A and B are shown apart, each in its own frame.
Chain A
Amino acid sequence: MTYSDPSASQSLEDPSLVQETQIQPSHAPGVAAEAAARSLRQPYLQIEDIHKRFGNFVALKDIFLNVYPGEFVCLLGPSGCGKTTLLRIIAGLEQHSQGRIIQGGQDVSHLPPSKRDFGIVFQSYALFPNLTAHHNIAYGLQNKKLPKAEIQTRVGELLDLVGLGGMGQKYPAQMSGGQQQRVALARALALSPGLLLLDEPLSALDAQVRVKLRAEIANLQRRLGVTTVMVTHDQAEALAMADRIVVMDKGYIAQIGTPHSVYQGPGSPFVANFIGVMNFLDGMVEAKDMVRCGNLVLNTPSNTVPVGQRVSIAIRPEDIRVMDGAATPAPNVAEAEVLGTEFLGSGYRLELSVLGNARQPMTLDISSHRARAMAIETLESLAIQLPPEMIRVFPKEAS
């Protein structure tokens, strides 16, 4: 049972590296990669072919997911994508219509929540308002009929762990949102569960507290090595905290991968658009590494889309390069008209209209430093380059 050993979680090879980005969940997952992962380590949580229907409405379909010991997985998606339903099914708070859940080698599909091994933090925290922080955390321990002294010690440790040492006698209403959140976390960890479930744990907090707490939670999780599944709709949160991100859309898994691979290699326009900001240009494939957008012919990474097929090409605003005077010949250079500038604090976002591509608008991010050198306030047009290796090509769905 290596998954319960915190020290082991980082000593073995990071399983997320083995797990290849999956473009379509309905396709067979990379069999070789899976086998490689299995030979290294058994997944702690296996979600196999989970479906959930409410009457005629399909809330979840074809959900396959392995979560490895000590891993931090984020379920990310817009509201209504089924991520919370999936979390509740893992917890047993909701019954799935098809498929099975295996946790720690045991099929728990039909066990009630009280017979499963998990701790949970809800968006509302669900702290018992009539009990002090201490008694909230001790709630599950007391039910186990542990000796008083042992409970006392354990609660003290947990309070220290979440940085609330000495605040045990306060009632939830006397604490700030961030403190309440930590109490909820300590309570979820009190019984040393094999699995920690977090349901939008940060979204009720102020922006600043949220950023601070997300680092703390991620650190704590790595320190304890507890396998964690978190639901969030905030892509920045998922990118910052997760070992792997599961992007969900309309009840299916759109993509699974490390934050880096999902951000850099989105598998679909949905993922590209949902995570970060993305420019899309309509075009048509000219050759296996060439796409025409209006009068503009762009070099792209080679792909398998047939010639003549309508496509969207995608590039992130920060990946577009501004050409300075030095005329090093480069592919994909175009003239762009500046339609507007938006000050973002750390830099500027320019709204552009690229000449020759049927005037489809694009945005471009540049740093303040760069902007000053360019006298951006009075800028009317500039030359930009779309580096071919940064471009992604998505076939247009027939619509």
Chain B
Amino acid sequence: MTTTTRHPIVAPRAKAFDLEAWVMRSLLGLGALWLVVGVVLPLFPMVGRSFQNTNGEWAGLANYGQYLTTPSLVQSFLNSMGVAITTTLFSVGLGFIYAYGLTRTAMKGKTFFRTLGLLSLYIPPLANAIGLIYLFGNQGLVTTGLFGLLPGININLYGFNGIVIGEFLYCFPQAVILLVTALNLTDARLYEAAEVLGASTLKTFFTVTLTSIKYGLMSALFVCFILAFTDFGVPKVVGGNFNVLATDIYKQVIGQQNFSMGATISVFLLIPSVFMFGLDRIVQRRQNALISAKSVPLQPKPNPILDWAMFGFCALMVAFIFTVFGTIILASLVKVWPYDFSLSLKNYDFSSVGGGGYGAYWNSLRMAFYTAIFGTAIVFTGAYLVEKGRGLNWLRSLTYLLSTVPLALPGLVLGLAYVFFFNNPIWRIPFTGLAIYNPLHWLYGTMALLVMANIIHFYTVCFLTGTTALKQIDAEFESVSASMAVPFYKTFWRVTVPLSLPAILEIGIYFFVNAMVTISAIIFLYPANLPLAAVAIVNMDDAGDIAAAAAMSTLIVLTSLGVRVMYSWLTKGLRQRSEAWLHR
């Protein structure tokens, strides 16, 4: 052993084939390609179409000129703005009081209010609109004063009022979620400091409460504005002659087959959304910087007057949401509203009405199921590669950016863009005169494309849920695995996925529920042989079969709620199983 010779230094095995690195690179490349095809490329033909006339010839800004000089179309833009702003003020205003009650008072029944305030998340906006018809429409319970028992109140539902109430029901839970999160983030020590310094309650509210939630508040404003500005279902059902951008697009495309004008209006719908989205991203980044791990949670002190006032307010809100929801169910069970109030299931027999009946419901179930399965797998893998991947930093940044863009795309715009992109058998590459056969044309009119549109439409929220969950997992797991020569995909499967299971299921539920209730992204895309439940509501309402529309709405809501309850039950079992490693 004393005659140890010098080891010759072996030259580096330059560029040895590294399977793991190649798997990582290929997956990242595929992820980016998926988003480029799903998000970026379809926007080109759509925006391009707005510069063409109905024959597909270059028309420059003619469509925009026509749009801006047609008073009825300009009016729609102003109407959309008016609806969006009014809805935003009501949703965020009332949502703030509701959220304040949930987080900052010692009010009773918080869990109850927290759960039921979010009920509308599971109701398609247009189902709420159907409920409003039965409450405030010409034969509505309120309008007729319970059919003469009380003095009736006519709120002139069809038009601005109806749209705002319907959008309010849609936006309110979103505002509550964002504001509860913002209010929960506050550090109790700030309030103790204010108290010690002798600040009045009012002053504390303005200097501490409002300052600390300003980013959450702004985020809620932007999100509600985008939702109300771009929604299609509510104005379609209760808009009457009050036109908004979303219904205009629908009329141009479906009614007049004027795709160029549809594309032009889409651009007008897209620009404010993208603008608000940009502002929201800036604000979100600031808010994230505010969160400190050392914050002390606030324990609200009892204050009987405030607590009971809040209780009354929250009860009123829940009562309203429930009345609308209850009315939908009631209307679906009544034989002939308003003449024969005996209960029956005859409205659930869809055979005599259009829209596709149980076939459509079954198709929607399948679509929601596929969206949940494939969407969750794609989104979570994508989030993992962006968050935990190694190397190719530029590609990971690009994937992150592309993953957040879908939030800015209104469903109608996305759907129309998909029509232009996938339906066209030949792609013309702009400015080159070149044309190639569309390799994705076969997707058009298939379930696969509907599922893809849904996945992209709801991509961003799920992606952010995924990255948030992954950020909480120790960053060194991948390093430790590498030190034991275990490839990253094994650790992904054995450790990362089990640890992220709650978030993964949450993503799946979100995909399922939204795919069940959405119409905007798929109304231009669904083929005649694949009717869908949510679209059926629109068609039944169009045909005057409002009771059937209420029945279909009820089916959708019960399905979504059923899946949510099943999820809670499932995760309860999961939580018990993982008790051993989650709690000391």
Contacts and interface: CB of A to CB of B under 8 A. Distances in A.
Interface of A: 2, 5, 8, 38, 40-42, 91-93, 100, 102, 104-116, 118-120, 122, 124, 126, 128-131, 139-140, 143-144, 171-174, 187-188, 190-191, 193, 197
Given A124-B474, A173-B580, A187-B480, 18 more contacts: A92-B482, A100-B12, A102-B9, A107-B9, A107-B10, A107-B12, A111-B13, A113-B482, A114-B20, A114-B487, A115-B18, A118-B483, A119-B483, A126-B476, A126-B477, A143-B485, A143-B490, A173-B581
A93 B494 CA distance: 21
12 contacts: A93-B479, A107-B12, A110-B12, A111-B12, A112-B18, A114-B486, A115-B18, A129-B581, A130-B498, A131-B495, A140-B485, A173-B582
Contacts, number: 113
B433 to A, nearest CB: 44
B474 A106 contact: no
B34 to A, nearest CB: 26
Contact of B484 (A93, A107, A115, A191): A191
Contact of B9 (A38, A41, A106, A143): A106
B9 A105 contact: yes
Given A38-B6, A42-B4, A112-B21, A107 B11 contact: yes
Contact of A91 (B479, B580, B583): B479
B480 A173 contact: no
B584 interface: yes
Contacts of A40: 4
Given A2-B1, A112-B18, A128-B495, A105 B7 contact: yes
B315 to A, nearest CB: 41
B28 to A, nearest CB: 16
Contacts of B12: 100, 107-111
Contacts of B483: 91, 113-114, 116, 118-120, 140, 188, 193, 197
A175 to B, nearest CB: 9
A100 B6 CA distance: 18
B495 A114 contact: no
A111 B584 contact: no
Nearest to B15: A110
A171 B580 contact: yes
A127 to B, nearest CB: 8
B16 A111 contact: yes
B270 to A, nearest CB: 37
The 9 tightest CB contacts between A and B, nearest first, are A140-B484, A105-B7, A113-B482, A126-B476, A171-B581, A107-B12, A143-B486, A106-B10, A114-B482
Contacts of A92: 482
B10 A129 contact: no
A5 B495 CA distance: 35
Most B Cβ at <10 Å: residue of A116, A173, A197: A173
A8 B495 contact: no
B8 interface: yes
A129 B578 CA distance: 10
A102 B11 CA distance: 10
A139 B580 contact: no
B528 interface: no
B162 to A, nearest CB: 51
B499 interface: yes
Interface in B7-42: 7-16, 18, 20-21
Contacts of A107: 9-12
Contacts of A172: 581
Interface in B493-527: 494-495, 498-499
Given A105-B10, A130-B498, A143-B490, A120 B16 contact: no
Nearest to A170: B580
Nearest to A120: B483
Nearest to B578: A130
Given A8-B1, A41-B4, A130-B498, A122 B584 contact: no
B20 A174 contact: no
A64 to B, nearest CB: 15
B479 A115 contact: no
Nearest to B5: A42
Contacts of B583: 173
Most A Cβ at <10 Å: residue of B477, B484, B583: B484
Contacts of A120: 479-480, 483
Nearest to A184: B480
Given A38-B6, A124-B474, A143-B485, A113 B479 contact: yes
A332 B584 CA distance: 60
Interface string B78-118: 00000000000000000000000000000000000000000
A190 B498 contact: no
B497 to A, nearest CB: 10
Nearest to A169: B580
Contacts of A188: 483
Contacts of B10: 105-107
B175 to A, nearest CB: 35
B477 A42 contact: no
Interface string B162-202: 00000000000000000000000000000000000000000
Contact of A2 (B4, B479, B480, B578): B4
A131 B583 CA distance: 14
Interface in B452-501: 474, 476-477, 479-487, 490, 494-495, 498-499
Most A Cβ at <10 Å: residue of B13, B480, B578: B480
Most B Cβ at <10 Å: residue of A42, A131, A139: A139
A38 B21 CA distance: 37
B7 A139 contact: no
B571 to A, nearest CB: 15
Nearest to A101: B12
A122 B20 CA distance: 23
A55 to B, nearest CB: 13
Given A131-B495, A143-B490, A173-B584, A105 B476 contact: no
B8 A105 contact: yes
A143 B480 CA distance: 13
A128 B493 CA distance: 12
Most A Cβ at <10 Å: residue of B13, B21, B499: B13
Contacts of A113: 479, 482-483
Most A Cβ at <10 Å: residue of B1, B4, B20: B4
A226 B483 CA distance: 16
A399 to B, nearest CB: 37
B155 to A, nearest CB: 55
Contacts of B584: 173-174
B477 A128 contact: yes
Nearest to A144: B485
Contacts of A129: 499, 581-582
A171 B583 CA distance: 10
A190 B484 contact: yes
A122 B476 contact: yes
B7 to A, nearest CB: 3
A92 B479 CA distance: 9
Nearest to B495: A128
A72 to B, nearest CB: 19
Nearest to A197: B483
B578 A124 contact: no
A53 B482 CA distance: 24
Nearest to A172: B581
Contacts of B4: 2, 40-42
A190 B18 CA distance: 24
Interface string B239-257: 0000000000000000000
Nearest to B484: A140
A213 B19 CA distance: 39
Contact of A112 (B8, B20, B477, B490): B20
Contact of B14 (A110, A171, A191): A110
B1 to A, nearest CB: 6
Contacts of A104: 7
Interface string B328-360: 000000000000000000000000000000000
